């Protein structure tokens, strides 16, 4: 049943949104802007996928006159290029590691002959910096499809990036599971027909994630158990056998998470 796993990058493979936030703020300073995205504001701004889109949304709300200037989109592009370069430096110097359970699940999936994909609204260079530092130089060969904002311009919650990965994997959505961290990611994966497992973090743990197959605070490790945010499962970590069961039982009725549905059935 389970033939493919498709991973989001930021917030899912690693807790990178804090590094993005710091890179945005340093870039604003470098550009002489008095903009500062504190964690609570960044949590709100994350409802906009894509760094350039996020900057544009923020400017329209807080400096509409600047957003209305004719060279604004070029200004945003230059600002974002600088931020992306800074982000890669911060990622490397910060020794940012993959989230608990990610590398374990990647190795298990490869050993089991599953097909792996990456679907992110972030830049290719962001994913490359993170995975070069954590999985070694030949990590790209682990993934049969890697789609980023460099190859798919439409950002999540649009399903385009997941559809592009599924096309390249040549797998039906019903044989795959997406692993995500945001409501936009959940909406994008579901719109592409994918059962979606959510792993929350500081910037997303207050969201509802309706329609998710599972909502967890991470994939867990035998010595670092995960917490199931909603549902009655008691298990320390996600493995392939468990994902097989989630996929086999999952029906997306669009109005409740898998486990609330199960609770309804059990009741
Ligand atoms: C996360 C995003 C990205 C990052 C910042 O993408 O929405 O915008 O926050 O990266 P995903 P960029 O969850 O799909 O990995 O500045 O390169 O957009």
Q: Say how far apart CA 250 and CA 190 lie, in whole Å.
A: 12
Pocket test for ligand 1, best of 122, 146, 157 (most atoms within 8 A of CB): 122
CATH 3.40.50.1000 domain locations along the chain: 4-15+97-266
Across the range 165-193, mean pLDDT stands at 97
115 by Cβ neighbours in 10 Å (0-12 / 13-18 / 19+) ranks as buried
Across the range 60-82, mean pLDDT stands at 98
CATH 1.10.3210.10 fits domain 17-94 = no
Model confidence pLDDT, tens digit, residues 190-207: 999 999 999 999 999 999
H, E, C per residue of 158-222:
CCHHHHHHHHHHCCCHHHEEEEECCHHHHHHHHHCCCEEEEECCCCCCCCCCCCCCEEECCCCEC
Of 40-44, 128-132, 180-184, 248-252, minimum mean pLDDT range: 248-252
Say yes or no: CB of residue 201 within 6 Å of ligand 1.
no
CATH 1.10.150.240 domain locations along the chain: 17-94
Residue 50 Cα to ligand 1 midpoint, Å, equals 5
Say yes or no: CB of residue 10 within 6 Å of ligand 1.
yes
Q: Say how far apart CA 227 and CA 55 lie, in whole Å.
A: 33
4-15+97-266: CATH topology: Rossmann fold (3.40.50)
Q: Is 34 a catalytic residue?
A: no
**What are the phi and psi torsion angles at 158 (to 5°)?**
-60, 145
Say yes or no: CB of residue 50 within 6 Å of ligand 1.
yes
Nearest C-alpha neighbor of 79 from the set 94, 91, 67, 61: 67
Across the range 53-70, mean pLDDT stands at 98
Q: To 5 degrees, how large is the angle CA 96–CA 102–CA 108? A: 140
Say yes or no: CB of residue 147 within 6 Å of ligand 1.
no
Q: Is the Cβ–Cβ distance between 241 and 248 less than 8 Å?
A: no
**Is pLDDT larger for residue 118 or for residue 232?**
118
CA-CA distances (angstroms) from residue 130 to 31, 139, 151? 25, 11, 18
Strand, helix or coil for residue 13: coil
CA-CA distances (angstroms) from residue 24 to 62, 66, 160, 224, 230? 16, 18, 26, 31, 33
Q: What is the pLDDT of residue 224?
A: 94
Contacts of 157 (CB under 8 A, 6+ apart): 49, 183, 184, 185, 187, 188, 191
Strands 228-230 and 214-216: antiparallel
């Amino acid at each position: 049943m389970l033939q493919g796993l498709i991973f989001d990058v930021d917030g899912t493979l690693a807790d990178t949104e804090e590094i993005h936030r710091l890179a945005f703020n340093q870039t604003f300073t470098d550009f002489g802007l008095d903009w500062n995205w504190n964690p609570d504001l960044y949590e709100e701004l994350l409802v906009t996928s894509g760094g350039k889109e996020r900057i544009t949304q923020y400017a329209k709300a807080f400096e509409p006159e600047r957003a209305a200037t004719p060279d604004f989109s070029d200004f945003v592009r230059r600002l974002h290029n600088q931020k992306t370069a800074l982000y890669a430096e911060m990622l490397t110097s910060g020794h940012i590691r993959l989230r608990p359970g990610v590398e374990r699940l990647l190795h298990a999936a490869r050993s089991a002959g599953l097909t792996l994909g990456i679907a992110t609204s972030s830049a290719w260079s962001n994913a490359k910096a993170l995975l070069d530092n954590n999985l070694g130089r030949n990590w790209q060969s682990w993934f049969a499809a890697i789609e980023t904002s460099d190859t798919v311009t439409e950002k999540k919650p649009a399903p385009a990036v997941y559809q592009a990965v599924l096309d390249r994997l040549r797998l039906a959505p019903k044989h795959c599971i997406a692993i995500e961290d945001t409501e936009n990611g959940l909406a994008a994966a579901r719109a592409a027909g994918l059962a979606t497992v959510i792993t929350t973090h500081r910037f997303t743990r207050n969201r509802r994630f309706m329609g998710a197959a599972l909502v967890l605070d991470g994939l867990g490790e035998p010595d670092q158990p995960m917490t199931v945010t909603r549902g009655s499962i008691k298990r320390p970590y996600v493995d392939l056998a468990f994902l097989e069961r989630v996929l086999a039982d999952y029906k997306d009725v669009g109005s409740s998470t898998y486990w609330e549905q199960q609770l309804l059935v059990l009741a």
